Structure 1
Amino acid sequence: MPKTAYELEREAKIARNRALIEQLDLKNAAASVTGPTTKTKTSAKPKPPPKPKAKPVQPIKREKRTVDDTPRRVSARLRKSTTIDPDETPARKRKREQEEEAQRRREEEERLAAEELARETKKPRHGELDLETLLGEEWESGALAGLNSRLQAVLQERHPRRTADQDAFVFEKDKNEAVEVAALRERLQDMKIVARAKVTQDRIYSAAYHPDPTMDLIFFGDKHGQLGIWDPRAPVDDAGEEDNVVNSEQRESGKYWRLQVHWPATSRSSISCIKFDPIDAHNVYTSAYDCTVRSLSFTSGISREVFAVEKVLITSMDIPPASHELWLSDAEGWLTHLDLREDKSKRRTYQLSEQKIGCVSVNPINPAFILTSSNNRTLKVWDVRKLEKLSVQRNGVLEFELQDVEQLDKSFFRVGTTTLRAECRHDKSVTSAYWDPRGRSIVSTCYDDALRIWDVSPSLMTKDGPFPSFRPLARIRHNCQTGKWVSLFKAQWSQNPDVYPHFTVGNMDHSLDIFGCKGDRLAKLSDRTKLTAAQAVTCSHPSVVERVATGNASGRCVLWAPADPDDAE
């Protein structure tokens, strides 16, 4: 049977397409056009097995008390249709209208009162607050008793802050120092993730480790003014039916409590710094962006306001050892000195920069020497004894502007002394700078992707005038570009004076770096199966070497420590 014109045209088109595909060297495509009978020499490669993904820890499900007692709104038309009598007399109509007008006035007054109450609840709280108020209503009845019991357990001793000798771990021969570094490296590299929990609801901004050597009690401050207290080694309560389906490695470890210390619960109340009282560790101080500093007493369970200022974000604070002094830095470039035994009106404030001072650190051995790191790309060492000679009083307090400090520095410079003892300019904003427990090493963190370390000889602090040289001992390349959604990296010294000085810092590759005071990398800790975010905030136990806690941008926290023998099996 002869082929039709349509079939001939179809076969010619298929031939042209096959020739075009072969000309373009698309053999697989040509095989699909020719039909299933065409065989190809290529064979599909087996897919590689999927890489194990880190699974975030599952938070404990807590039932929130939600009671909707908001009155339903009813339109005026519906109210009239149900209340108006079509046969009512003029007198009854006037009476009804008067009652409706009185009802409208009452509703308007209630609405205005509710709005005023809502505005008041959004303002910072300046009064004293107990633990029950700080916990709020979302916690079960046993949470308050459990928190009280945990805080009372640390009241056996005062745990004052310990300092190291300035010449501690200063070796005459490099061989002796290498032995000390190797011993510490061996201890730190054995640390693993032993506990995880979502301690706070929002991003971690700050952290502090309680100095009690017999336990692990860690405090975290988050973006919305919440203070999370975590006991990672506490026994976990019996899991419910829903929790049984969760793998034990994904379940939260220990117990934690969330205290709304700063208010309102918004980003205006971010807790910027946490410090324990250096004389009595039964008090913890918190500074926040709500322009206040508060103290929480473990003995009384009361949180009280220590300091408050209007419209100035408090970025950092530090407390010298064995003293009642408090130094604060703020976003306007000012440094404030408080004596906690005196009234807040007797404070002294100094403007040391035209831009934000993000970090202040007091030398633990020579408290007169203070570090400041600023957005103006500089790290500076100040001798605050010279600042005490200023006597300018403004607004009822001792307040010294930048021009006053600069003029004072010029007058001192003529006689060979100066308030500004050293200065180092960085390539970008300096996010933090801290003294080590010996008061001689400094580490700074900067947005130019570098960690810098200085060794300041104690002899320089006994002389007047600027330091003759202030160059970094080491510069370490480190990714500090945390961006908008991750807290700033701040290298934190271990406050343990019994071991070789070292510091911890987070990394954008979801790991934890530990360096010595000469820039040697001691450990790089990571676990791809358990970590899903950068560990931006770090802190170390002041008394136990192998204890480091970290927190990330979701409020999840991790405890690094040697693995338990039971877990190893």
Structure 2
Amino acid sequence: MPKTTYELEREANIARNRALIEQLELKNAAASVTGSVNPKVSAKPKPPQKPRAKPVQPIKREKRILEDTPRRASARLRKSVINLVDETAAQKRKREQEEEAWRRNEEEERLAAEERAREAKKARHHELDLEVLAGQEEWEPGALSGLSSRLQSLLQARHPRRRGDQDAFVFDNSKRENVEVAALRERLQNMAIVARAKVTQDRVYSAAYHPEPTKDLIFFGDKHGQLGIWDARAPADETEEDDVDRDQREAGKYWRLQVHWPATAQSSISCIKVDPIDAHGVYTSAYDSTVRSLSFTSGISREVFAMEKVLITSMDLPPASHEMWLSDAEGWVTHLDLREDKTRRRAYQVSDQKIGCVSVNPTNPAFILTASNNRALKIWDVRKLRKLPAPQGVLELELEDVEKIKESKEGTAILRGEWKHDRSVTSAYWDPRGRAIVSTSYDDALRIWDIQPSLMTKNPPFPDFRPFARIRHNCQTGKWLTMLKAQWSPNPDVYPHFTIGDMDHSLDIFGWKGDLLAKLSDKERVSATQAVTCSHPSVVERVASGNGSGRCVLWAPAHLVAE
């Protein structure tokens, strides 16, 4: 049968393609031959691959071995051995009774499992000890007692939060200031990674550095309500992991406590604060609408405050005070006296949108900062608000009431300053002197203010409330990273400076006038954005950071690496 025109054309196309493939293969083979006659077809050498950062390898924990116990067998599984044909009436009744008992036990176990699942989703409002907080975490033998003794060692000295002088590090001439900045820059640029560990199981949301000068004890809060306690430079336990490079192993010792419950994104720890009175405990606020206090003395975590299904976004405590300020996702700021019952509070709605940050002036606690999703940074003088009577210890002023008080003659000085950003303000903090302010915004800018102390002694609003410095900084963290927040170093004895993570995986340190003092990075050991940062309150060259996977880094002088 003669071939059609289509078939002939198809065969011709196949032949041309085959010839083209053979020609290309010959040219490639010729190009790979060393000393080719045609230099144009010589193979190009491949560029060397850049070394990629390797994540720190977590220590392999020995899993708990459960003792073998005999398992209950079903009567229905055993009935196969019964000769049903020769089964007597008595045997039949016994078999049916066993099957009924088995079904009853199965139903009871199912109901009990459902009840346990319901309880697991409920918040825990009672006191919890370290053993309960440890939960199902797989710890080495003696680890719980090791944590208890580590916390007890912090009770040997009091470390109250120190406040700075409002006029400190304000120089009459620029030469003296340049010398101070140059000395600090030299110290900070000598820092490197001295320890790494996967301190929490999930994304780091918050961090705080304990003020004990002889230790590097850092607290990290993660997305699922877990508090990681990391003694970063403690001698690590010896392991048998010879196949892991020592440089890639975890450093120090850490413990994980499930402080907020349930262990879901509803319990993300939004803020951690060390007790400002004596540093013998830590406060944690979380999205589960609670604030808890972990005492180092007793090892007990107790609930300090609870709200009704409102995300607590931030908290702050003034130095040498039993007061606490909270902010939430509905635009409220709440004042607590920690010596009173947790049901007593004063709450003021000062924004129509989420307040992501509240900061109390450390030298003049009457002035607080709020940073909101409505793009506004505001300074409030709360003395007039706190003078209002609180029936039965509870005072709640909604936004309309606050606006009326602001418009009244007595309330003209409540709002002292306001600045509108181009986008949401994610954070704003006072420096240790209670003078400078740094804000972080989704408009990709860091702004710095200098508030003259004389303005705080007067009642009228600040005549000029414009930032004196604006720094370009990529703050587009997106959905999967914790929002970047510029954090002041709490050390009042050194030139004011703040730290913030960078999207290029570095950690940036700026002076209070906007000078870049150091850009810490290590491409071979850090491959993620260091979104959360904190600094040691009394040691200058100590900064800790955490990323979206729970891996944390300690930055310190390079010579400490070899110790």
TM-score higher than 0.5: yes
1:398 aligned to 377, 395, 398, which one? Answer: 395
| CA-CA distance at 1:237 after TM superposition | 1.7
Whether contact under 8 Å (2:405, 2:411) holds in the other structure is no
**What do residues 74-114 of structure 1 show as CA deviations (whole Å, max 9, x unaligned)?**
89975665568445566875676566445433432332122
Tell me the alpha carbon deviations over residues 276-333 of structure 1, each in whole angstroms, 9 at most, x when there is no partner. 1111101111111111111111111111111111211111100011110111111111
Cα distance 1:460–1:66, how it changes in 2: closer, same or farther (>3 A)?
A: farther
Q: Deviation per CA, 1:450-472, whole angstroms, max 9, x where unpaired?
A: 10110111111111122111111
Looking at structure 1, the residues matched to 30 and 249 of structure 2 have their Cα atoms a distance apart, in angstroms, of 56
Match of 2:116 in 1: 117
Quickly say closer, same or farther: Cα 1:90–1:129, change in 2 above 3 A: same
Q: Does 1:282 align with 2:280?
A: yes
For residues 140-151 of structure 1, the aligned pairs below 5 Å read: 140-151=140-151
Mapped partners of 2:353, 2:397: distance in 1: 15
* Identical positions, percent: 75
1:518 aligns with 2:513: yes
Q: Is the CA contact 1:390–1:400 (under 8 Å) kept in the aligned structure 2?
A: no
The answer for the alignment partner of 1:186 in structure 2 is 186
SS of residue paired to 2:51: coil
SS in structure 2 of the partner of residue 451 of structure 1:
strand
Task: Name 2:384's counterpart in structure 1.
Answer: 386
1:357: Cα distance to partner?
A: 0.8
Change over 3 Å in CA distance of 1:71–1:340 after alignment to 2? farther
- Alpha carbons of 1:338 and 1:275: their partners in 2 closer, same or farther (altered >3 Å)? same
**Counterpart of 2:509 in 1: which secondary structure?**
strand
| C-alpha displacement of 1:541 | 0.4
The separation in 1 between residues aligned to 2:274 and 2:363, in whole angstroms, is 18
Task: Report if the CA contact (8 A) 2:53-2:523 is conserved.
Answer: yes
Cα 1:90–1:550 change in 2 (3 A) is same
SS of the residue 2:53 aligns to: coil
Q: 1:426 to 1:76 in 2, by over 3 A?
A: farther
| In 1, Cα distance between equivalents of 2:95 and 2:24 | 87
Q: In structure 2, what is the equivalent of residue 3 of structure 1?
A: none
Distance in structure 1 (CA, Å) of the matches to 2:278 and 2:20: 85
CA RMSD of aligned residues (A): 3.1
Deviates more, 1:115-124 or 1:156-165: 115-124
Letter aligned with residue 399 of structure 2: L
Indicate if the aligned counterparts of 1:383 and 1:421 stay in contact, CA closer than 8 A: yes
1:419-498 aligned within 5 A: 419-498=414-493
Distance in 2 (CA, whole Å) between partners of 1:280 and 1:236 is 28
- CA distance, structure 1, for counterparts of residue 159 and residue 221 of structure 2: 22
Find the partner of 1:273 among 266, 271, 274: 271
Residue 161 of structure 1 corresponds to 161
- For residues 365-406 of structure 1, the C-alpha deviation after alignment (integer angstroms, 9 at most, x for no partner) is 110111011111111111111212444769x83111111111
Mapped partners of 1:34, 1:347: distance in 2:
83
Match for residue 229 of structure 1? 229
Contact 1:355–1:374 (8 Å) recurs in 2: yes
> Cα distance, 1:145 vs. partner?
2.1
Mark the CA change 1:97 to 1:362 in structure 2 (over 3 Å): closer, same or farther.
Answer: same
1:200 alignment partner in structure 2: 200
Unaligned residue ranges in structure 1 (runs of 5+): 1-11, 22-26
Are 1:409 and 2:394 an aligned pair?
Answer: no
Counterpart CA distance in 1 for 2:299 and 2:396 is: 34
Secondary structure (helix, strand or coil) at the match of 2:246 reads coil
Answering whether residue 127 of structure 2 is matched by residue 132 of structure 1, we say no
Deviation larger for 231-240 or 514-523 = 231-240
* Residues in 2 aligned to 1:554 and 1:156: alpha-carbon distance in whole angstroms: 34
What is the rounded CA distance, in whole Å, between the counterparts of 1:33 and 1:497 in structure 2?
Answer: 70
Amino acid at match of 1:197: A
Superposed displacement of residue 66, structure 1: 6.2
CA distance in structure 2 between the aligned counterparts of 1:343 and 1:415, rounded to whole angstroms: 30
Could you say which residue in structure 2 is the equivalent of 1:5? none
Q: What is the CA–CA distance in structure 1 between the aligned matches of 2:413 and 2:83, rounded to whole Å?
A: 86
The answer on 1:373 being equivalent to 2:371 is yes
Hey, what does 2:177 align to over in structure 1? 177
1:63 Cα deviation after fit: 2.2
Offset of residue 335 of structure 1: 1.0
Question: Bigger CA drift: 201-210 or 172-181?
Answer: 172-181
Q: Distance in 2 between matches of 1:190 and 1:19?
A: 64
Please report how far the alpha carbon of residue 232 of structure 1 lies from its aligned counterpart in structure 2 after TM superposition: 1.4
Q: Distance in 2 between the 1:35 and 1:504 partners?
A: 54
Name which of 241, 261, 264 aligns with 2:262.
Answer: 264
The answer as to whether partners of 1:416 and 1:465 remain within 8 angstroms in 2 is: no
Output the CA distance in 1 between the equivalents of 2:16 and 2:99.
Answer: 87
Match of 2:4 in 1: none
Deviation, 1:39, is 4.8
Question: Separation in 2 of the partners of 1:492 and 1:88?
Answer: 80
Q: Write out aligned runs for 1:85-96 (5 A).
A: 85-86=84-85
- Asked if residue 339 in structure 1 is aligned to residue 337 in structure 2, the reply is yes
> Alpha carbons of 1:398 and 1:69: their partners in 2 closer, same or farther (altered >3 Å)?
farther
**Letter paired with 1:542:** P
Q: Which amino acid aligns with 1:378?
A: A
Q: What is the aligned partner in structure 2 of residue 532 from structure 1?
A: 527
For residues 326 and 194 of structure 2, the distance between their equivalents in structure 1, rounded to whole angstroms, comes to: 35
**8 Å Cα contact 2:427/2:486 also seen in 1:** yes
Deviates more, 1:67-76 or 1:398-407: 67-76
Distance 1:301 1:20, change over 3 A: closer
Offset at residue 128 of structure 1 (A): 1.3
Deviations 1:13-48 (A, max 9, x none): 999999999xxxxx9788469999995332112222
Question: Which amino acid is the alignment partner of residue 280 of structure 1?
Answer: D
Structure 2 segments unaligned to the other structure (5+ residues): 1-11
* Count of matched residue positions in the alignment of Structure 1 and Structure 2: 548
* 2:9 alignment partner in structure 1: none
Q: Quick one: which amino acid aligns to residue 559 of structure 1?
A: L
Distance 1:390 1:68 in 2: 63
Counterpart CA distance in 2 for 1:228 and 1:35 is 58
CA 16–267 in structure 1, closer or farther in 2 if over 3 Å, else same: closer
**1:155 counterpart SS class:** helix
Q: Distance between the aligned counterparts of 2:432 and 2:372, measured in 1?
A: 22
The 5-angstrom pairing of residues 255-334 of structure 1 reads 255-334=253-332
1:347 maps to a residue whose letter is R
Q: CA deviation at 1:439?
A: 0.4
Matched position secondary structure for 1:154 = helix
Counterpart contact for 2:375–2:424, Cα < 8 Å: yes
* Deviation by residue 1:218-247 (Cα, 9 ceiling, x = unmatched): 11111111111111111122221xx11211
1:550 to 542, 545, 549: 545
Residue 152 of structure 1: CA displacement? 2.0
Tell me which residue corresponds to 1:60: 59
3-state DSSP class of the match of 1:181? helix
Q: Kindly tell me: are residues 564 and 87 of structure 1, through their superposed partners in 2, closer, same or farther at Cα, counting changes over 3 Å? A: same
Counterpart residue number, 1:502: 497
